[in-house]
Structure 1
Amino acid sequence: MPTTPQPTELVLHQASRVLDIAFADGARFQLPCEFLRVSSPSAEVRGHGIGNEVLQVGKAKVNITAIEPVGHYAIKLVFDDGHDSGLFSWEYLYELGRDQAALWDQYLQKLAAAGASR
């Protein structure tokens, strides 16, 4: 079973609200803070089981105020809207980067279906 490459660089660009992350395999992703916030692996966002997800709205201007390491496997992102309960593993961050376009499209479709806005 392949293991997720370790990050080699992690830079938060607060002005543009983007987390830039590079991995040992050469992959590099620019993950907008809004995308990270609405994709948080926390129970607040994911719910407590399939079908219990909570659609996040009004997060277009959200920013990250702190990045806290969690062991050697994850980071905790602290957002300026008070959300700080999601642990972003290296594997999850890699998946978000790899699948960003499809995941973002799904999120926008869910927003539209709910008549909600970013």
Structure 2
Amino acid sequence: MRKIMAGLALMGATLAATAADAHHSFGMFDMSKEVTITGKVRKFQWTNPHSYIQLVSKDGSGKDVEYSMEMGAPMYLYARGWRPATLKAGMDIAITYHPLRNGQPGGVVMDVTTPDGKAIGTNK
């Protein structure tokens, strides 16, 4: 019985390590660049394994472009002061982020602020 239990524990640990390894890295983001963009929140998605901000911003020609901005898991955001209702559709915000390497409109969020520079969801 002990060998069966040890085998099951080893199999569980192997599966957990495989699942963790399958989770994407930050390789898709250009961590050497920091960009700040302003716009209006279209949607704040409080979801696992990552939350997202859908932000609509104007490009250089004045055309609306929607950015998909990745954040951490809700449990980590909650610890920093974020709540499901922290951002509402239509809010003006600025996001500092590491952009996607492929040039698509999106990235991983570093900081979110109000137009007057007040930090959002940082427990500050």
Q: Tell me: higher relative CO, structure 1 or 2? Use CA pairs within 8 A at least 6 residues apart.
A: 2
Question: What is the TM-score normalised by the length of structure 1?
Answer: 0.27
Larger radius of gyration: 2
Question: What is the TM-score normalised by the length of structure 2?
Answer: 0.27
Name whichever structure is richer in helix by fraction.
Answer: 1
Name whichever structure is richer in strand by fraction.
Answer: 2
